[in-house]
Chains A and B, each alone.
Chain A
Amino acid sequence: MSFASLSFIIFLVCTFALYWLVKKREWQNPILLAASYLFYGWVTPSLAVMLGASTMLDFFLARGIQASPVRTRLFMALSLTLNLGVLAGFKYYNFFNDELANFVTSLGMNGDFFLTRVLLPAGLSFYTLKKLGYMIDVSRGMLKPTHALVDFALYVSFFPQIIAGPIERPQKLLPQIEAQRAWKADFFYGAWPLILMGFFKKIVIADNIKIISDQIFSLDEPSIFLLIMGALAFTLQILADFSGYTDMSRGFAMLFGFQTSENFNLPYTSLTPTDFWNRWHITLSNWLRDYIFFPIGRALKRSRLNLPPWQVLSIPPIATMFISGLWHGAGWNFVMWGVYYGVLISVYQLVGIRGDWKPKSPWAHGLAWFVMFTFIVIGWAMFRAPSLAWLGNILFNEPFLHSQSDLIVGLIAFSMVIAYSIPLWIKLGLDKYAKDGWLTSAYYAFATVLIIVFLNATFPDFIYNQF
């Protein structure tokens, strides 16, 4: 079920009414759990069955760790194998299936079976990380496993978050699930601006800018200039799309009395790659930092390999971002995108520029921002490119401009980026200088009008559903 659908609105109203009518937590949680499974299994019920089975297994494995700490490694190995196996199976099967089919055919057998495409269940990447975080924390003794299956299942499947996060940590969400919740008008007053902005970013900005970025990235051999403009358009599109989704997710969670994490903090104002990842998809960055980056760093420091300091400094970010790339998609461009950020983080650190670096001079600040923003756009070009070969062909074989038409189309793309980013700039200014004032109310009213106007159009899915 998509947030941007009538069926979701009906679903939300019914769940909301029932949830607050029953008042008691003992009933609220099962209602929310049932609603979450209904939401998740709406199109393909078997996905909800898969989610339920894997949730139960992790629940009992975590209980097993608590009951029998000596078997922690065994239970963790089981959980890792199950979670990563399912994720890898769904995510990377399509990556290798053509080769598999060819191989089987070369053995004289019918390889057609392997050509069937496997559709990645929506949200699998997100809820797998949630469960793994829980299991790792339990195994490290940092978290007491919950004894209530309903609470754990709700933590994993909480419908505002299941499709595209935020990847909430159990330490934050589980205590809220376990606590009593009584209706407060503040829930609504906190939620509506988030939900409204989420729809605005998705329907008015992302879906419109998507048109030009999709067209440019669909071309077989665009010029370098068009590629740059397409990448700029995608830079805006992915921010509006994903942060819009997160806003909605946080708003819906708030309607049910839950405070969930922010995922974006002005990522395109970053001055360094580390700063960028502290501001972009924050819950994923934190997950990767705590469960991949720190353990690798600690292992390297403890190891007897006697690696030179630059390697000790470089390996953790490169390995972490490589895994981040793999998590984002099955394709060499995602891997390359991850490694690219790993290398950028390492280089910045090696030359002494840390994540919290802030130059004093405004010129240096502006230059640092421009350099980092350029790196971000290059990164999105890799991410959005149909393939690395496509990107390489453009960079090495295509001219800067094919014709004057390229220039005109590039300028159209640029003017779209400017036009559709203006509302975000205005919102930024309002948040800083006129929060909760008349101007902010007027902004929301205009945003609502634009949503209604742009609603009467097609609804592409959220980009992050694919991951």
Chain B
Amino acid sequence: MRLFLRYLLLLSILVIIAWVKIPQRYGLDFPRNPGPEFDRQVRTLYADRINEGKPEIVLLGDSTLKDAVNAELLSILTGRKVAKFDVPGSASAFWYLVLKNNIVVAEHRPRMVVIIFRDTILTAPGYRVHGAYLVQLDEFAARREPILLERAYLNQMSPVEIWAEQYFPLYSAGEQVQKEVDAWIRYSFPNWLGCNKDCTDKSMYEVFTSADLEPGQLRNAVATAEQYLYARARLDFERQVNKSFLPEMIRLTKENGIQLIVVRLKNQMTGTDGSETPEVRRYIEELTRYLGKQSVIFLDYGKDPRLAREYYKDALHLNPEGETVFTQILAEGLGEALKQDK
């Protein structure tokens, strides 16, 4: 008992010290707003590209889009100018920001925005929003992004977490403290040997970022990350949809006279040809009904037999042959929408 009481006493002292010192050290004000803070800068990369290229069709997606669609071929097949914005590691939060802060504010207004997605990603607002993804989001986020903050972060946190973020510096400044500890460990030893911060960062980049990854490990890492999309909560469409960025993306496109088209690309995560899980099937049925009501065109290639296994280089990405096949399939699918557009 004595050990525990002494522990409580010392812990209280440490917490009080942290309460005073942390806000000073990291320049934080308490109570603070929960969730991440974004800077004022908003990159206009995609708005610039739209203004320069004046595309009629804008494709938006992650690395699967990069490998799935040949923009030049699609342009030839459809007879329309196509711009492809494929950002590896991006997800619905990023697409929402690009749509809101780049596409709809561009001087040139594209006729269509085509989002290439897989399974539940459109209604998973908390997917790929932390760590390196947060840096990616910050580039396209304005200083105030209440919808992003609410849907990607606050809705994903428990009340205890929100309280701790607001009032408890030890928890709230965790990331800053962690970064400092990490930097100390990472840079000290090489520094003693004459390799400064730049040299260390360059070494890390050379060894990890530019090197090839072991295919099996890569596959496992992808599968582990993708499990998030297939958790029970994410497959509950009704529960997810109004907390997601999908309604906002629909609103933004409608208000700006842009036809939103969402395209589901087949993947090999939940099953192979024809072996989609019942949960995913149910989710897609509900998504189809919802999009229909919202006048959003939904092209579902999630089970398309033309996208055979030999066209995939891994569970998610198509190989060059697959890219050609899918581009043709997509051009065909977009045909109907384009006829209406004429």
- Chain A residues proximal to chain B, CB less than 8 Å: 6, 43, 110, 112-113, 115-117, 185, 189, 192-193, 208, 215, 217-222, 226, 386-387, 390, 403-406, 408-409, 411-412, 414-416, 419, 436, 438, 440-442, 444-446, 448-449, 452-458
Contacts and interface: CB of A to CB of B under 8 A. Distances in A.
Interface stretch (B85-93, B212-220, B259-267, B317-325): B212-220
A432 to B, nearest CB: 16
Contact of A220 (B2, B168, B186, B214): B214
Given A453-B170, A456-B164, 13 more contacts: A6-B158, A6-B161, A113-B275, A117-B223, A185-B1, A208-B182, A409-B203, A409-B207, A415-B188, A445-B10, A449-B15, A452-B170, A456-B165
Contacts of B206: 403, 405
B272 A112 contact: yes
B172 to A, nearest CB: 7
Nearest to A44: B232
A411 B14 contact: no
A449 B18 contact: yes
B177 A453 contact: yes
B3 interface: yes
Contact of A219 (B177, B195, B214, B273): B214
A218 B214 contact: yes
Contact of B7 (A386, A441, A452): A441
A446 B10 CA distance: 9
B185 interface: yes
B236 to A, nearest CB: 14
Contact residue range for chain B?
A: 35 or more
A334 B81 CA distance: 54
Nearest to B168: A452
A412 B216 contact: no
A115 B270 CA distance: 10
30 contacts: A6-B160, A6-B161, A113-B275, A215-B208, A218-B218, A218-B221, A219-B208, A219-B213, A220-B214, A221-B212, A222-B207, A390-B214, A406-B203, A406-B207, A408-B193, A412-B185, A412-B200, A415-B186, A416-B185, A438-B6, A440-B3, A442-B10, A444-B7, A444-B11, A452-B168, A453-B171, A453-B173, A455-B174, A457-B174, A457-B175
Interface in B16-46: 18
A112 B307 CA distance: 14
Nearest to A390: B214
Contacts, number: 144
B271 interface: yes
B202 interface: yes
Contacts of A419: 185
Contacts of B9: 441
B216 A386 contact: yes
B79 interface: no
B204 A412 contact: yes
**CB-based closest 5 A-B pairs:** A456-B174, A441-B6, A405-B203, A408-B203, A445-B10
Contact of A458 (B18, B130, B275): B130
Decide if the interface of chain B is mainly helix, strand, loop or mixed: helix
B278 interface: no
A441 B3 contact: yes
Interface of B: 1-4, 6-7, 9-11, 13-15, 18, 130-131, 158, 160-161, 164-165, 168, 170-175, 177-178, 182, 185-186, 188-190, 193, 195, 199-200, 202-204, 206-208, 211-218, 221, 223, 231-232, 268, 271-275, 309
Given A412-B186, A456-B172, A436 B2 contact: yes
Q: Which of A408, A442, A455, A458 has the most CB of B within 10 A?
A: A408
A219 B174 CA distance: 29
Contact of A446 (B14, B131, B158, B203): B14
A220 B213 contact: yes
A452 B275 contact: no
A344 B263 CA distance: 57
A217 B186 CA distance: 18
A403 B9 CA distance: 51
Nearest to A223: B207
Contact of B174 (A208, A387, A454): A454
Contact of B273 (A112, A222, A387, A438): A112
A112 B312 CA distance: 14
B332 to A, nearest CB: 25
